[in-house]
Protein backbone atom coordinates (compact mmCIF):
# COMPACT_ATOMS: atom_id res chain seq x y z
CA UNK A 1 0.00 0.00 0.00
CA UNK A 2 1.26 3.47 -0.90
CA UNK A 3 0.22 6.51 1.13
CA UNK A 4 0.55 9.95 -0.47
CA UNK A 5 1.45 12.60 2.05
CA UNK A 6 2.71 16.15 2.18
CA UNK A 7 3.37 16.58 5.90
CA UNK A 8 3.06 19.96 7.55
CA UNK A 9 5.09 21.65 4.83
CA UNK A 10 2.33 21.14 2.26
CA UNK A 11 -1.29 20.31 1.72
CA UNK A 12 -1.44 16.53 1.73
CA UNK A 13 -4.09 13.96 2.38
CA UNK A 14 -3.18 13.17 5.97
CA UNK A 15 -0.54 13.66 8.62
CA UNK A 16 2.56 11.47 8.46
CA UNK A 17 2.03 10.18 11.98
CA UNK A 18 -1.28 8.56 10.98
CA UNK A 19 0.04 7.04 7.79
CA UNK A 20 1.83 4.08 9.30
CA UNK A 21 0.36 2.76 12.55
CA UNK A 22 3.03 1.78 15.06
CA UNK A 23 1.42 -1.60 15.48
CA UNK A 24 1.84 -2.42 11.81
CA UNK A 25 5.51 -1.94 11.01
CA UNK A 26 6.28 -4.87 8.76
CA UNK A 27 4.25 -7.14 6.56
CA UNK A 28 4.92 -10.60 5.13
CA UNK A 29 8.57 -11.25 4.50
CA UNK A 30 9.65 -8.27 6.57
CA UNK A 31 8.20 -5.70 4.15
CA UNK A 32 6.72 -2.56 5.60
CA UNK A 33 2.96 -2.45 5.12
CA UNK A 34 2.77 1.12 3.83
CA UNK A 35 5.05 3.37 1.81
CA UNK A 36 5.11 7.13 2.22
CA UNK A 37 5.56 9.15 -0.96
CA UNK A 38 8.04 12.01 -1.03
CA UNK A 39 6.00 14.99 -2.35
CA UNK A 40 8.48 16.36 -4.86
CA UNK A 41 5.62 17.99 -6.77
CA UNK A 42 4.76 20.23 -3.81
CA UNK A 43 6.65 23.56 -3.97
CA UNK A 44 6.28 23.94 -0.20
CA UNK A 45 8.12 20.65 0.35
CA UNK A 46 10.92 21.60 -2.04
CA UNK A 47 11.29 24.97 -0.30
CA UNK A 48 11.39 23.43 3.19
CA UNK A 49 11.28 19.63 3.52
CA UNK A 50 12.27 19.61 7.19
CA UNK A 51 8.78 19.64 8.78
CA UNK A 52 7.96 16.58 6.65
CA UNK A 53 11.29 15.00 7.61
CA UNK A 54 10.72 15.70 11.28
CA UNK A 55 7.45 13.79 11.26
CA UNK A 56 9.06 10.91 9.39
CA UNK A 57 11.74 10.74 12.08
CA UNK A 58 9.23 10.97 14.90
CA UNK A 59 7.19 8.19 13.29
CA UNK A 60 9.95 5.61 13.49
CA UNK A 61 13.66 4.90 13.05
CA UNK A 62 13.19 3.24 9.65
CA UNK A 63 10.36 4.21 7.30
CA UNK A 64 9.26 2.68 4.03
CA UNK A 65 9.16 5.46 1.44
CA UNK A 66 8.70 6.10 -2.28
CA UNK A 67 11.29 8.53 -3.63
CA UNK A 68 12.30 9.59 -7.13
CA UNK A 69 10.60 7.89 -10.06
CA UNK A 70 8.65 5.50 -7.85
CA UNK A 71 11.69 3.90 -6.24
CA UNK A 72 10.83 2.28 -2.91
CA UNK A 73 13.41 2.41 -0.15
CA UNK A 74 13.93 1.96 3.57
CA UNK A 75 14.72 5.35 5.07
CA UNK A 76 16.96 5.51 8.17
CA UNK A 77 15.89 8.67 9.99
CA UNK A 78 17.64 8.92 13.36
CA UNK A 79 21.17 10.05 14.08
CA UNK A 80 22.54 7.07 16.03
CA UNK A 81 21.09 4.57 13.56
CA UNK A 82 22.31 6.56 10.55
CA UNK A 83 25.84 6.90 11.91
CA UNK A 84 26.01 3.18 12.63
CA UNK A 85 24.51 2.29 9.23
CA UNK A 86 27.21 4.26 7.42
CA UNK A 87 29.87 1.92 8.85
CA UNK A 88 27.88 -1.33 8.64
CA UNK A 89 29.60 -3.66 6.11
CA UNK A 90 26.26 -5.37 5.50
CA UNK A 91 25.06 -2.20 3.75
CA UNK A 92 26.80 -2.25 0.38
CA UNK A 93 27.43 0.48 -2.19
CA UNK A 94 27.07 -2.01 -5.05
CA UNK A 95 23.77 -1.25 -6.81
CA UNK A 96 23.79 -4.64 -8.52
CA UNK A 97 22.86 -6.27 -5.22
CA UNK A 98 19.45 -4.60 -5.18
CA UNK A 99 16.43 -6.80 -5.72
CA UNK A 100 14.56 -3.89 -7.33
CA UNK A 101 15.95 -3.68 -10.88
CA UNK A 102 14.65 -0.11 -11.22
CA UNK A 103 17.54 1.12 -9.09
CA UNK A 104 19.81 0.60 -12.09
CA UNK A 105 17.24 0.69 -14.88
CA UNK A 106 16.15 4.24 -14.02
CA UNK A 107 19.67 5.50 -14.77
CA UNK A 108 20.67 6.48 -18.31
CA UNK A 109 22.79 3.73 -19.84
CA UNK A 110 26.01 5.76 -19.82
CA UNK A 111 25.50 6.75 -16.19
CA UNK A 112 24.84 3.14 -15.25
CA UNK A 113 28.16 2.06 -16.76
CA UNK A 114 30.01 4.83 -14.92
CA UNK A 115 28.25 4.20 -11.62
CA UNK A 116 29.35 0.59 -11.46
CA UNK A 117 33.02 1.61 -11.86
CA UNK A 118 32.94 4.65 -9.59
CA UNK A 119 34.71 4.60 -6.25
CA UNK A 120 31.53 5.66 -4.45
CA UNK A 121 29.73 2.54 -5.72
CA UNK A 122 32.44 0.07 -4.68
CA UNK A 123 33.06 -1.77 -1.42
CA UNK A 124 36.43 -2.76 0.07
CA UNK A 125 38.93 -3.88 -1.09
CA UNK A 126 38.34 -2.13 -4.45
CA UNK A 127 37.12 1.04 -2.78
CA UNK A 128 40.17 1.08 -0.49
CA UNK A 129 42.55 0.65 -3.43
CA UNK A 130 41.03 3.49 -5.45
CA UNK A 131 40.63 5.88 -2.52
CA UNK A 132 44.28 5.46 -1.55
CA UNK A 133 45.33 6.67 -5.00
CA UNK A 134 43.75 10.10 -4.60
CA UNK A 135 43.63 10.64 -0.85
CA UNK A 136 47.00 12.42 -0.73
CA UNK A 137 45.61 15.23 -2.88
CA UNK A 138 43.01 16.12 -0.25
CA UNK A 139 44.90 15.97 3.03
CA UNK A 140 44.55 18.92 5.41
CA UNK A 141 48.13 20.00 4.63
CA UNK A 142 47.67 19.93 0.87
CA UNK A 143 44.36 21.76 1.12
CA UNK A 144 45.89 24.44 3.37
CA UNK A 145 48.43 25.10 0.62
CA UNK A 146 45.54 25.96 -1.71
CA UNK A 147 44.21 28.71 0.57
CA UNK A 148 45.99 31.66 -1.10
CA UNK A 149 44.75 30.58 -4.53
CA UNK A 150 41.17 30.06 -3.29
CA UNK A 151 41.26 33.55 -1.73
CA UNK A 152 42.62 35.02 -4.98
CA UNK A 153 39.83 33.48 -7.06
CA UNK A 154 37.22 34.59 -4.52
CA UNK A 155 38.43 38.19 -4.58
CA UNK A 156 38.54 38.26 -8.37
CA UNK A 157 34.93 37.08 -8.61
CA UNK A 158 33.77 39.64 -6.05
CA UNK A 159 35.72 42.38 -7.82
CA UNK A 160 33.57 41.70 -10.88
CA UNK A 161 30.20 41.89 -9.11
CA UNK A 162 30.82 44.47 -6.37
CA UNK A 163 30.22 47.58 -8.54
CA UNK A 164 26.81 46.36 -9.75
CA UNK A 165 24.92 46.38 -6.45
CA UNK A 166 23.11 43.16 -7.38
CA UNK A 167 24.11 39.66 -8.47
CA UNK A 168 23.13 36.04 -8.72
CA UNK A 169 25.48 34.61 -6.11
CA UNK A 170 25.19 31.13 -7.61
CA UNK A 171 25.91 31.98 -11.24
CA UNK A 172 28.38 34.78 -10.50
CA UNK A 173 30.14 33.44 -7.41
CA UNK A 174 29.30 30.11 -5.75
CA UNK A 175 29.50 28.16 -9.02
CA UNK A 176 32.67 29.52 -10.71
CA UNK A 177 34.73 29.42 -7.51
CA UNK A 178 34.81 25.63 -6.91
CA UNK A 179 34.72 24.92 -10.65
CA UNK A 180 37.94 26.90 -11.07
CA UNK A 181 39.58 25.32 -8.01
CA UNK A 182 38.84 21.69 -8.93
CA UNK A 183 39.69 22.30 -12.59
CA UNK A 184 43.10 23.67 -11.69
CA UNK A 185 43.70 20.82 -9.26
CA UNK A 186 42.85 18.19 -11.86
CA UNK A 187 44.37 19.99 -14.84
CA UNK A 188 41.23 20.80 -16.88
CA UNK A 189 41.98 23.60 -19.39
CA UNK A 190 39.99 26.84 -18.82
CA UNK A 191 38.48 26.63 -22.31
CA UNK A 192 36.86 23.27 -21.47
CA UNK A 193 35.15 24.25 -18.20
CA UNK A 194 31.94 25.64 -19.66
CA UNK A 195 31.35 22.35 -21.47
CA UNK A 196 31.62 20.11 -18.44
CA UNK A 197 29.49 22.52 -16.39
CA UNK A 198 26.76 22.36 -19.02
CA UNK A 199 26.82 18.55 -19.12
CA UNK A 200 26.83 18.30 -15.34
CA UNK A 201 23.85 20.63 -15.07
CA UNK A 202 21.88 18.41 -17.44
CA UNK A 203 22.84 15.30 -15.46
CA UNK A 204 22.14 16.60 -11.98
CA UNK A 205 19.39 19.24 -12.13
CA UNK A 206 16.53 17.31 -13.69
CA UNK A 207 13.15 17.30 -11.95
CA UNK A 208 13.26 14.15 -9.78
CA UNK A 209 9.91 12.82 -11.02
CA UNK A 210 10.09 14.03 -14.65
CA UNK A 211 13.69 13.62 -15.83
CA UNK A 212 14.71 13.89 -19.46
CA UNK A 213 16.56 10.58 -19.58
CA UNK A 214 17.61 10.99 -23.21
CA UNK A 215 19.21 14.36 -22.50
CA UNK A 216 20.89 12.94 -19.42
CA UNK A 217 22.30 10.02 -21.39
CA UNK A 218 23.70 12.37 -24.06
CA UNK A 219 25.33 14.52 -21.40
CA UNK A 220 26.89 11.49 -19.68
CA UNK A 221 28.26 10.22 -23.00
CA UNK A 222 29.72 13.61 -23.92
CA UNK A 223 31.34 13.95 -20.51
CA UNK A 224 32.77 10.43 -20.71
CA UNK A 225 34.13 11.04 -24.23
CA UNK A 226 35.62 14.37 -23.16
CA UNK A 227 37.44 12.76 -20.22
CA UNK A 228 38.77 9.96 -22.41
CA UNK A 229 40.17 12.60 -24.78
CA UNK A 230 41.60 14.71 -21.94
CA UNK A 231 43.35 11.72 -20.39
CA UNK A 232 44.74 10.68 -23.79
CA UNK A 233 46.11 14.21 -24.28
CA UNK A 234 47.76 14.13 -20.87
CA UNK A 235 49.48 10.86 -21.75
CA UNK A 236 50.97 12.55 -24.82
CA UNK A 237 51.83 15.76 -22.97
CA UNK A 238 52.15 14.95 -19.25
CA UNK A 239 51.41 17.65 -16.70
CA UNK A 240 51.97 18.00 -12.97
CA UNK A 241 48.36 17.66 -11.84
CA UNK A 242 46.13 15.07 -10.19
CA UNK A 243 44.95 13.48 -13.44
CA UNK A 244 48.55 13.15 -14.52
CA UNK A 245 49.33 11.37 -11.26
CA UNK A 246 46.42 8.98 -11.80
CA UNK A 247 47.65 8.19 -15.31
CA UNK A 248 51.09 7.42 -13.92
CA UNK A 249 49.53 5.06 -11.39
CA UNK A 250 47.61 3.35 -14.19
CA UNK A 251 50.45 3.05 -16.67
CA UNK A 252 53.28 2.18 -14.30
CA UNK A 253 51.68 0.36 -11.39
CA UNK A 254 48.56 -1.06 -13.05
CA UNK A 255 46.32 -0.21 -10.11
CA UNK A 256 43.62 1.45 -12.23
CA UNK A 257 42.17 0.02 -15.41
CA UNK A 258 41.05 2.40 -18.15
CA UNK A 259 37.39 2.40 -17.13
CA UNK A 260 38.27 3.01 -13.50
CA UNK A 261 40.52 5.89 -14.52
CA UNK A 262 37.79 7.68 -16.48
CA UNK A 263 35.23 7.02 -13.73
CA UNK A 264 37.64 8.43 -11.14
CA UNK A 265 38.26 11.55 -13.23
CA UNK A 266 34.52 12.04 -13.60
CA UNK A 267 33.88 11.60 -9.88
CA UNK A 268 36.61 14.03 -8.84
CA UNK A 269 35.56 16.63 -11.38
CA UNK A 270 31.83 16.61 -10.63
CA UNK A 271 31.86 15.83 -6.91
CA UNK A 272 34.66 18.36 -6.51
CA UNK A 273 32.38 21.28 -7.14
CA UNK A 274 28.66 20.44 -7.14
CA UNK A 275 28.17 20.00 -3.39
CA UNK A 276 30.46 22.96 -2.62
CA UNK A 277 28.23 25.21 -4.73
CA UNK A 278 25.32 24.09 -2.56
CA UNK A 279 27.26 24.59 0.67
CA UNK A 280 28.02 28.20 -0.27
CA UNK A 281 24.53 28.88 -1.65
CA UNK A 282 22.68 27.29 1.26
CA UNK A 283 24.94 29.00 3.79
CA UNK A 284 24.52 32.51 2.42
CA UNK A 285 20.78 32.05 1.90
CA UNK A 286 20.38 30.79 5.48
CA UNK A 287 22.24 33.80 6.87
CA UNK A 288 20.18 36.27 4.86
CA UNK A 289 17.01 34.61 6.16
CA UNK A 290 18.29 34.86 9.76
CA UNK A 291 19.52 38.43 10.34
CA UNK A 292 20.45 37.71 13.96
CA UNK A 293 22.89 34.99 12.83
CA UNK A 294 24.22 37.23 10.06
CA UNK A 295 24.97 39.94 12.63
CA UNK A 296 26.79 37.47 14.88
CA UNK A 297 29.10 36.48 12.04
CA UNK A 298 29.72 40.04 10.90
CA UNK A 299 30.57 41.04 14.49
CA UNK A 300 32.81 38.02 15.09
CA UNK A 301 34.36 36.47 11.95
CA UNK A 302 36.11 33.98 14.23
CA UNK A 303 32.80 32.11 14.38
CA UNK A 304 33.00 31.28 10.69
CA UNK A 305 34.61 27.79 10.81
CA UNK A 306 31.94 26.61 13.24
CA UNK A 307 29.24 28.38 11.22
CA UNK A 308 30.23 26.39 8.12
CA UNK A 309 29.68 23.18 10.11
CA UNK A 310 26.28 24.52 11.19
CA UNK A 311 25.28 25.29 7.59
CA UNK A 312 26.22 21.73 6.64
CA UNK A 313 24.15 20.34 9.50
CA UNK A 314 21.13 22.63 9.23
CA UNK A 315 20.67 22.57 5.44
CA UNK A 316 23.28 20.34 3.87
CA UNK A 317 24.03 19.91 0.14
CA UNK A 318 22.88 16.25 -0.05
CA UNK A 319 19.19 15.46 0.43
CA UNK A 320 17.85 13.29 1.92
CA UNK A 321 20.98 11.14 2.17
CA UNK A 322 23.14 8.40 0.72
CA UNK A 323 22.12 5.17 -0.96
CA UNK A 324 23.05 1.69 0.19
CA UNK A 325 21.84 -1.85 -0.57
CA UNK A 326 21.34 -4.52 2.09
CA UNK A 327 23.81 -7.31 1.26
CA UNK A 328 22.04 -9.57 3.76
CA UNK A 329 19.10 -9.50 6.14
CA UNK A 330 19.77 -7.09 8.98
CA UNK A 331 18.10 -5.06 11.67
CA UNK A 332 18.27 -1.26 11.88
CA UNK A 333 16.71 0.53 14.82
CA UNK A 334 14.76 -2.58 15.70
CA UNK A 335 13.28 -2.88 12.17
CA UNK A 336 14.15 -5.88 10.01
CA UNK A 337 15.45 -4.90 6.58
CA UNK A 338 15.56 -7.71 4.00
CA UNK A 339 18.49 -8.65 1.82
CA UNK A 340 18.51 -6.70 -1.44
CA UNK A 341 16.50 -3.77 -0.06
CA UNK A 342 17.37 -0.25 -1.13
CA UNK A 343 18.34 1.73 1.96
CA UNK A 344 18.64 5.52 2.19
CA UNK A 345 20.71 6.64 5.15
CA UNK A 346 18.96 9.99 5.56
CA UNK A 347 21.79 12.21 6.74
CA UNK A 348 19.74 15.37 6.20
CA UNK A 349 17.05 14.05 8.55
CA UNK A 350 19.51 12.64 11.08
CA UNK A 351 21.31 15.98 11.28
CA UNK A 352 18.10 17.54 12.62
CA UNK A 353 17.68 14.85 15.30
CA UNK A 354 17.14 16.63 18.65
CA UNK A 355 18.55 13.58 20.41
CA UNK A 356 21.98 14.56 19.05
CA UNK A 357 21.58 18.29 18.41
CA UNK A 358 19.57 20.25 21.02
CA UNK A 359 17.04 22.64 19.46
CA UNK A 360 18.00 21.01 16.17
CA UNK A 361 15.67 22.99 13.91
CA UNK A 362 17.25 26.30 14.96
CA UNK A 363 20.15 27.74 12.95
CA UNK A 364 22.85 28.68 15.46
CA UNK A 365 26.27 29.77 14.21
CA UNK A 366 27.59 29.62 17.80
CA UNK A 367 26.62 25.95 18.19
CA UNK A 368 29.57 23.81 19.29
CA UNK A 369 30.83 21.84 16.30
CA UNK A 370 29.15 18.46 16.39
CA UNK A 371 29.63 15.30 14.41
CA UNK A 372 27.12 16.07 11.65
CA UNK A 373 26.77 13.55 8.83
CA UNK A 374 26.67 15.92 5.87
CA UNK A 375 30.01 14.53 4.65
CA UNK A 376 29.09 10.97 5.57
CA UNK A 377 30.93 8.77 8.04
CA UNK A 378 33.28 5.81 7.91
CA UNK A 379 35.18 4.49 4.90
CA UNK A 380 33.14 6.56 2.44
CA UNK A 381 33.55 9.84 4.33
CA UNK A 382 33.77 12.61 1.74
CA UNK A 383 37.32 12.76 0.39
CA UNK A 384 36.94 16.43 -0.52
CA UNK A 385 35.59 17.59 2.86
CA UNK A 386 38.70 19.64 3.79
CA UNK A 387 38.61 21.44 0.44
CA UNK A 388 34.85 22.09 0.67
CA UNK A 389 35.27 23.52 4.17
CA UNK A 390 38.09 25.79 3.00
CA UNK A 391 36.12 27.07 0.01
CA UNK A 392 32.97 27.56 2.09
CA UNK A 393 34.80 29.48 4.81
CA UNK A 394 36.64 31.76 2.39
CA UNK A 395 33.68 32.34 0.06
CA UNK A 396 31.10 33.11 2.74
CA UNK A 397 33.46 35.11 4.94
CA UNK A 398 34.78 37.24 2.09
CA UNK A 399 31.30 37.90 0.70
CA UNK A 400 30.09 39.10 4.12
CA UNK A 401 33.14 41.31 4.50
CA UNK A 402 32.97 42.91 1.07
CA UNK A 403 29.24 43.12 0.24
CA UNK A 404 27.65 45.70 2.55
CA UNK A 405 23.89 45.59 3.18
CA UNK A 406 23.70 42.15 1.55
CA UNK A 407 20.07 41.03 1.24
CA UNK A 408 17.95 38.56 -0.69
CA UNK A 409 16.22 40.04 -3.74
CA UNK A 410 13.35 37.53 -3.39
CA UNK A 411 11.77 35.95 -0.28
CA UNK A 412 13.74 32.98 1.08
CA UNK A 413 10.78 30.62 0.58
CA UNK A 414 10.57 31.55 -3.12
CA UNK A 415 14.13 30.53 -4.02
CA UNK A 416 14.12 27.89 -6.76
CA UNK A 417 15.84 24.81 -5.35
CA UNK A 418 17.15 21.45 -6.41
CA UNK A 419 15.35 18.43 -5.00
CA UNK A 420 15.79 14.68 -4.95
CA UNK A 421 19.46 13.95 -4.26
CA UNK A 422 21.03 17.39 -4.01
CA UNK A 423 19.77 20.45 -2.18
CA UNK A 424 20.69 24.01 -3.03
CA UNK A 425 19.33 27.08 -4.80
CA UNK A 426 19.46 27.17 -8.58
CA UNK A 427 19.85 30.93 -8.32
CA UNK A 428 20.53 33.27 -5.41
CA UNK A 429 19.52 36.83 -6.42
CA UNK A 430 20.83 39.42 -3.95
CA UNK A 431 21.28 43.15 -3.59
CA UNK A 432 24.00 45.08 -1.77
CA UNK A 433 25.60 48.49 -1.67
CA UNK A 434 27.63 48.95 -4.82
CA UNK A 435 31.34 49.28 -4.13
Q: What tens digit of pLDDT does each residue of 354-378 get? A: 999 999 999 999 999 779 999 999 9
Per-residue pLDDT, 206: 61
In sign, the C-alpha dihedral spanning 271, 68, 47, 207 is positive
Query: Widest CA span of the chain, in angstroms?
Result: 66
Distance, CA of 284 to CA of 262 (rounded, Å): 34
Does residue 316 contact residue 348 with C-beta atoms inside 8 Å?
Answer: yes
Distance, CA of 286 to CA of 106 (rounded, Å): 33
Give the structural domain span for 261: 2-431
Which has more pLDDT, 62 or 23?
62
Which ranges of 254-290 does DSSP label H, i.e. alpha helix? 258-271, 274-289
Distance, CA of 359 to CA of 133 (rounded, Å): 41
pTM: 0.88
Which has more pLDDT, 235 or 21?
235
Per-residue pLDDT, 311: 98
Q: Would you call 67 helix, strand, or coil by DSSP?
A: coil
CATH code at 137? 1.10.630.10
Domain count, the chain: 1
Amino acid sequence: MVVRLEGRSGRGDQDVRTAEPAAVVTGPGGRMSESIVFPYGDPAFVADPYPFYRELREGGPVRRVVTVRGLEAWLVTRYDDAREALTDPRLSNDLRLATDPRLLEQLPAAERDAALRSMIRLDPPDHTRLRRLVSQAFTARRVAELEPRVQEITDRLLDAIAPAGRADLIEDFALPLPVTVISELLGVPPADRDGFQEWTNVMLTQHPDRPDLAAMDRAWRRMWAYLEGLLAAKRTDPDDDLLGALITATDQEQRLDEGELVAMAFLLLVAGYVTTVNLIGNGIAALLAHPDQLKLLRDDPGLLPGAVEEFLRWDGPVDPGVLRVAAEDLEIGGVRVPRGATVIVATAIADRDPGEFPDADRLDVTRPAGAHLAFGHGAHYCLGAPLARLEGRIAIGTALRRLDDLALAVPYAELSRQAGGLRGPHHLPVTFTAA
